[in-house]
Structure 1
Amino acid sequence: MAAPSISHSGSADSSSTFEDYSLYSHLSDSELLQLAIERSLIDTHGSAAATTAISTNSTTTQRPHRHDNKPTPSAATSNQPPAASTQNPAAAQLGAHYSSPNPPTVKPPDPKTFVGTVSRFMTGSGKRMVAYYKTDGSLVHIAPEPEEEEEPLFRAIREGDSSRVKALAMCPGTNLMLPSKPGWLAVHQAAWFGQEACLRMLLTVQPGMINKRASGGGTPLLTAVSRVHLGCVQLLLEMGADPDIPNYEKETPLYKACERNNPAIVAALLNSGAEVNTCCYHGWTALQEAASRDNLEICEMLLKAGAKHNVRNSYGITPLFTAAQNGQLAALRLLIKHGADVNTQAADGATALYEATKNGHTKIVELLLSQNADANKPGKTGLLPLHIAAQRGSDTIISMLIVVTSKARVRRTGISPLHLAAERNRDDTLEFLIKAGFDVNAQLSEERSRLYEDRRSTALYFSVINNNVDAVRMLVAAGADPNLDMFKPLLVAVRIGCIQTVQLLVEHGADINAGIPTHPTTFPAVYMFSMKYLPMFKYLLDHGGEALSCFSCIYGGQSHPPIKTSRPGGNYNPDQSLPETLQTRGVQFCEMISAPSISRWAGPIIDILLDYVGHVTLCSRLMEHLDSYSGWSVIKEKAALPRPLLQLCRMQILHLVGRRKLKRLPLPGGLIRFLQHQELSLDDS
């Protein structure tokens, strides 16, 4: 990690510098090394030297990945040529003033015999440095890195001085077949910089260089193609360069020309007999590369030259699939015209239509469907293109796919497009699919339901758990049943605390008194999630929530056993924390209200419940809660027998008439409100 930059001024003698090291004694080894390098660069006159953080120049270049996981060009064909070797002696090293009491040696060690580590750094001003360390980590020598001078021949080529190139090439003792450090010959240098005259001169003197490879495996022809030097390409082909020699990634000059999107070079290579169906390391052909770039001119040339449109790469992908995947309409039309299979599938089963849908290529989907592409072939997850379109919210693509997708095939996938639209909150798509006639009560298959911990099964559940009120409204208005899921959507809505969703579900028949199969209770399970929100708790009671079961207790006035909330090991097990009787009957209300997070609400909860029951007897546990706070004594009086006649009459009328028919009774409005328990409404909370 680079250390923070340090600046200093004035003369720098050894004593002051040593004090600086004391000041920076808290720095890490790398930071101290930076400081040593900076001090070593102070000139002999003691002028100020502003220094900056050090960065290493030996990092490995990371090549970017393309969408198809095919690697980019190799180092031999990158944007910078390898550094040429030099036969000149190293430049004299600069003198350095070291502030350390034990400065490194002045003479650098011999790299061939040195035992230790050699590190190269670069200062913020661009000065290259080299440091030698012993195996124990101690610094042996540090100095500016000697600069290598470019060989005269390579320099003349770079500058395009053909006469000097000729003189140097024909000089006695010059060996043009001798590579530089990275295997870079003079002919590669000429091809890299596009120096045709120099290239011709070199090949005239030494024709044997024409097909020599550089360190990455690239020939001079491949180098010229990579740099898009048409003149050099034509010259090399005229002088007999082999157009089919690949680099070490098996990329041929023709493939590279397609990658560079250059029709003129492609034509030159094809006219020289280049093989059109050679695959690179990842199985890509020149045609597939051209199709991915939608170069119609190159694709036509390759197909006329015999390129096969059904060759698959290592992922099972054909050129047509690649064109569809990348939204290349012109190339796709051309490939279809030449007989490419529109139903081609990749190794994972995905079709070109599936891939085009996933990437939202509307025109591609339209073209494939016009050519009778099969919309009923699923991808590796079992989803059809229609599912993917619903997931993306692509209504235009959905409208095209609906008419060609079998609803029976959709059912066999075990998931409806409605599920995916609801899961991703695609409200417009959800409305579109409902109008198209998709079943709002379609349920996930058992296999897909098991993928969710709560075992959800309906689109309504997805919308409720996403707290999407608009989607819930659309689904229930279209007839969605709120009672199909194992864990009822109403329980989720109450737990989230969304009163709008709760009202929508209750108005459309949600079972307020439903339980949870995996966690049985003797009272409506929805109360577990609403006890801290009394207005919602009252709303549920007003609309049919059962209250009498909350006062049912197998212990009655007897002492209740203590509630164990955890086992000795610390893992909670609800079955082992209850007596055997409760394990068969379910958790009782008096046990649930005794939970530490709810017990402080016990008085108001019991007070509300008493308004919805007649004669009841409070068990000893409920009495304990009411006795725990003096302000709750009035609630005990309210529960005392006999209950008021007015309350008993209300309960009897509700029992005989039913809540839904109360408004039809010829009674004053105040009395109707009393019968409906509307002394406190949600709006009053």
Structure 2
Amino acid sequence: MAHESFAFSPSALRSLRLQRELLEREDRRRALARAPAPRLLPPPLCRDPAVHNALYAGDLPRVQSLFRDEASANLVLEMVSEELVWSPEQGLWVLSPRRQHTSALRIAAARGYEDCARHLLLRGAAVDAVVGGRAPLHDSAAAPHPNCARLLLAFGADPNVLSADGSAPLHLCTAPHSLRCAELLLAHGARVNLGTRERQVTALHVAARHGLLAHVELYLHHGADPSRRTHQGETPLNAAAAAAERPEDAERFLRVAERLLAAGAQAGAAGRKGHTPLHNACANGHPALARLLLRHGADATVPNGAGDTPMDCALRAVPEYREQRPEETLALLLDHGALPAHPKMLRLCCQHPPALEVMLNAYDRVPPADGWADAVPPELWEEHRAFYASAVRMAGRPRRLQHLARVAIRRCLGTRCHTAVPKLALPPALRRYLQLPIEGLIS
């Protein structure tokens, strides 16, 4: 038995080596704690391309040979890149060198090199050092690399460390696949309602602005306040409604808005420049979101800081969002008490016949056509000749008694049109007529 030996497995040897490194690091810390406080000097700069290349390539053996102690692990790396800047003296764009600072641990965390990051941490790299404006945890969250975020947090990284611009790591979780990083940060004590230093933007604002439903659910579960306002007065619902600009993103922003409203967000909260979520939904040509907001009590008549109502915003959006059925948004607003737009605004929707028809049917008398007819392209006029001809023919003339009765009933019901009309004891055809259907003619 005395001559027998026990063979360690590779994993056991790795564990022993890691334990020895941790013990060595603890011994160094104790020695430093007993020593007198040294005079703080600015960390040395490293401009060696070989060092940069080893880090960016994740070359672990090379990183191990280059970073052997605490001093080398905390080097500040300086990189120079060329960028175009305008030179007023020369009157042209010129290449100008731009110097950026970072750290070895930041590079490893940003690129997901967990083994390199672990080696640097064991060699004494400062886990919360803000170099070049960010700490390593900011980079791992922004990338995102959950493996590196988990490692940094295990080594004591502050989940609420602020970058130079006042952002915490949770504020940088802006991609769908950053959800795991957000979960790790919250599990290690990240403050879900922490606002950025200057603008007071919370993680919920960020998630709503990027249409990240899973992140919104996570933050609300951890106590995020859906009514929290930024320095400019924006709520998360304002942020979601303002960001829903592209038709292909409409569905996910609608889901985010639904979740925020279910959590208690105010549908009529006015934000920057007095814009309510409804103003933004109308300006972005998003009828489903407008319907959701109106159902939760949004005011269809309230003006923003510039005096524009949601109807004004919806009309301005018609030319850009013709494929998104803007006539639905206009009819929705009218059903919730919005007044017909000023006749001069008809010029904005005259190139989309369904939208123009909805608006013309909101008046008891068709306004003069000279304010919009000349803005209709000849080819569009030919394509919809019957509709445009009927609109011009009826301009300034009394409408049929049936239409006048429709206008009178809708005016009497006001903001209750959307709920009262479907309940009226009338034949289905008449109820439909009261809801301003698209018929392709003005009579």
User: How many angstroms does 1:366 deviate by?
Assistant: 0.6
CA contact (8 A) 2:258 2:292 kept: yes
The alignment status of 1:483 with 2:301, answered yes or no, reads yes
The alignment status of 1:265 with 2:62, answered yes or no, reads yes
CA contact (8 A) 2:142 2:172 kept: yes
Larger Rg: 1
Match of 2:257 in 1: 430
Match of 2:397 in 1: 610
Match of 1:325 in 2: 142
Match of 2:374 in 1: 597
User: How many angstroms does 1:658 deviate by?
Assistant: 6.8
User: How many angstroms does 1:322 deviate by?
Assistant: 2.0
User: How many angstroms does 1:330 deviate by?
Assistant: 2.6
| SS of residue matched to 1:284 | strand
Structure 2 counterparts to residues 494-513 of structure 1, below 5 A? 494=315, 496=318, 498-512=326-340
CA contact (8 A) 1:351 1:379 kept: no
The residue identity in structure 2 corresponding to 1:488 is: T
% identical aligned pairs: 23
Structure 2 counterparts to residues 59-138 of structure 1, below 5 A? none
Question: What RMSD in Å do the two structures reach over aligned CA positions?
Answer: 4.5
Q: How many residue pairs were aligned?
A: 340
TM-score (norm 2): 0.62
User: How many angstroms does 1:483 deviate by?
Assistant: 1.1
Q: For 1:490 and 1:314, how far apart are their aligned partners in 2?
A: 47
Match of 2:240 in 1: 421
Gaps of 5+ in 2: 1-43, 79-99, 245-249, 382-387, 414-419
Change (3 A) 1:653 1:391: closer
Change (3 A) 1:329 1:528: closer
By relative contact order (CA 8 Å, sep 6+), the higher-ranking structure is 2
Q: For 1:463 and 1:650, how far apart are their aligned partners in 2?
A: 30
CA contact (8 A) 1:531 1:537 kept: yes
Change (3 A) 1:364 1:413: farther
CA contact (8 A) 1:257 1:265 kept: yes
CA contact (8 A) 2:64 2:119 kept: yes
| SS of residue matched to 1:283 | strand
User: How many angstroms does 1:312 deviate by?
Assistant: 2.3
User: How many angstroms does 1:398 deviate by?
Assistant: 0.9
Show CA shifts across 1:97-144 (max 9, x none).
xxxxxxxxxxxxxxxxxxxxxxxxxxxxxxxxxxxxxxxxxxxxxxxx
Show CA shifts across 1:208-227 (max 9, x none).
xxxxxxxxxxxxxxxxxxxx
Match of 1:683 in 2: 439
Gaps of 5+ in 1: 1-246, 450-455, 516-523, 551-588, 613-645
Q: For 2:105 and 2:426, how far apart are their aligned partners in 1?
A: 85
Show CA shifts across 1:542-581 (max 9, x none).
55x354xx8xxxxxxxxxxxxxxxxxxxxxxxxxxxxxxx
The alignment status of 1:334 with 2:334, answered yes or no, reads no
Q: For 2:269 and 2:405, how far apart are their aligned partners in 1?
A: 41
Show CA shifts across 1:481-530 (max 9, x none).
21123322324445627322222211122122x65xxxxxxxx6655656
The residue identity in structure 2 corresponding to 1:441 is: G
Change (3 A) 1:509 1:263: same
| SS of residue matched to 1:327 | coil
CA contact (8 A) 2:70 2:123 kept: no
Match of 1:439 in 2: 266
Change (3 A) 1:611 1:280: same
Counterpart of 2:215 (choices 386, 397, 412) is 397
Q: For 1:329 and 1:607, how far apart are their aligned partners in 2?
A: 66
Q: For 1:533 and 1:273, how far apart are their aligned partners in 2?
A: 68
Structure 2 counterparts to residues 184-223 of structure 1, below 5 A? none
Structure 2 counterparts to residues 646-665 of structure 1, below 5 A? none
Q: For 2:68 and 2:421, how far apart are their aligned partners in 1?
A: 93
Change (3 A) 1:277 1:461: same
CA contact (8 A) 1:291 1:331 kept: yes
Show CA shifts across 1:411-437 (max 9, x none).
654112223323323222222222222
User: How many angstroms does 1:367 deviate by?
Assistant: 0.6
Q: For 1:269 and 1:478, how far apart are their aligned partners in 2?
A: 61
CA contact (8 A) 1:490 1:526 kept: no
Change (3 A) 1:475 1:264: same
